[in-house]
Amino acid sequence: MSVEDMLACIEPFTAARNEEIEVLARSVVRSRKPSQTVIIRESQQPDGLYVVLRGRVNLVRAADGGRDLILTSLGPGDVFGESCAVEGVGASTTAVTAVATDIARIPADVLSAHLRRDSNTLVRLMKLMSEKLSEVESVASGLALCDVEERLRRTLVRLAKRQGRHSPADEGWILAPVPTQSELARMVGSCRETVSRTLSAMARNGLLSSSGRRMILGETLMGNSAAP
């Protein structure tokens, strides 16, 4: 897929004019980052808008006790670093690769110039930022109000809807590669051992099944979850 085609099919550029897509495409810088590479640090202004091409990027925030919390996990087609478009505003989270990841970066000055010329992208970028904020608020609410099992259910459903695919033949949603149990623990504010026991109980109850880095979430789990 060409850079132009890639940009045209991801938010916030889906309504941008063709000539604008061509200008953006000429500025794109592609790179491959090893696992656990910090791309953007919390509170620092990003140097551009990033697109995940392959792999996975976790958005992390420091928590009490020296631990950190994974607020969301991004896969192919997802973007991060949106605050680069707002002068003087730093990133609200640290972006770190979960696995070896291919990314594309649109420099901040190129994006800002594009936004001044194309209001359609600006509106979509604001909507994207609002949706991410709502997701973070949902995660925070779950940490305060839900037990570990419910938080894990919501997290798996959210990941499946964002990064997985519906497979009627498998009677559920396929999530692959599924985050490690340690990553899931950091997403739900628990420990790996508790997550492991909870996943085993959910499997015994027929809610999910897994093999290696592949997990199938049953229709019952997907239908009953309150995750957005």
The pLDDT of residue 194 is 96
Provide the whole-model pTM.
0.87
The pLDDT of residue 39 is 97
The pLDDT of residue 100 is 96
The pLDDT of residue 123 is 95
pLDDT digits (tens, 9 = 90+) for 40-82: 999 999 999 999 999 999 999 887 666 789 999 999 999 999 9
> What's the token pair of residue 126?
């604001």
pLDDT digits (tens, 9 = 90+) for 102-152: 999 999 999 999 999 999 999 999 999 998 888 888 887 888 889 999 999
The pLDDT of residue 224 is 66
How far is Cα 118 from Cα 175, in angstroms, rounded to an integer?
Answer: 36
> What's the token pair of residue 213?
């880095």
Domains detected in the chain? 3-143 (2.60.120.10), 147-224 (1.10.10.10)
Q: Quick one: three-class SS letters along 70-128?
A: EEEEECCCCEECHHHHCCCCCCCCEEEECCCEEEEEEEHHHHHHHHHHCHHHHHHHHHH
Q: Between vectors from CA 103 to CA 45 and to CA 140, what angle results, nearest 5°?
A: 55
What number is the average pLDDT over the span 87-92? 88
The pLDDT of residue 66 is 67
Q: Any bridge partners for residue 80, and if so which?
A: 50
